[in-house]
Amino acid sequence: MTPVILLVEDEPAIADTLAWTLKSEGFSPCHVSTGGEALARIEQGGIAVAVLDVGLPDLSGFEVCRRIRAKDAALPVMFLTARSEEIDRVLGFEIGADDYVAKPFSPREVAARLRVMLRRSGALHTQSPPETPALELDEAAAQVRMGKDALALTRYEYLLLRHLLLNPGRVFSREQLLDSVWGRDSDSCDRTVDTHIKTLRAKLREISSELDPIQTHRGLGYSLSR
């Protein structure tokens, strides 16, 4: 069974990035934005680890942890926080946290730490995350493949995905993508980019429901994680 990770984070950009990473690492992220929502979800059961942001809009992560520990001494808890002072770390551990990660952090490091926590709790039995074949660009054939499957892309879907594949990890604004893919003389607008990103995501998921490499950076644009 895929471990369910309760992610309690009120910053959408952080939550989206971390949830995508956890999903790609073989976890099942469940995102809520407030401490009250977190406590209600935990009451339903089935949570393997709770990942708590300290600075939540209603209850602090510390208070959420206290309430969790009042009912469940075994549920692993990890804190995410912008605070790195020793007093905060000590307080976190004293009220029952199992791990503590200060922002900015690497999502992959968080996933690795969660895996260790799950092994210690017995909820993970040294299983490897499912592997998804990588996207491969065949410029000679003007195709993008995943394994043996070639994506059925329109001209601009292909050019857009090609541009992202050639620049993995780089964040492009909508204006930059318009210039690079559609050209400076095009009458297309920002919405054109959003529409093509949406259709690309849908076509990628048709091949694999786990495949979602295009990341949205709110207020900035898009990037592709490989």
Give pLDDT tens digits for 91-136: 777 888 888 888 878 888 899 999 888 888 776 544 444 455 578 8
Buried (b) or exposed (e) across 63-97, using 16+ Cβ within 10 A? bbbeebeeeeeebbbbbbbeeeeeebbebbeebbb
Give me the torsion for CA of 189, 190, 192, 198, rounded to 10°. Answer: 180
Give the residue from 195, 188, 113, 123 showing the smallest Cα distance to 157: 195
**Mean pLDDT confidence for 135-139:** 88
Give the residue from 66, 73, 3 showing the smallest Cα distance to 38: 66
Give pLDDT tens digits for 50-103: 999 988 999 988 999 999 999 888 899 999 887 656 556 677 778 888 888 888
Peptide bond preceding 104: is omega within 30 degrees of 0, i.e. cis? yes
Give the residue from 64, 162, 50 showing the smallest Cα distance to 114: 50
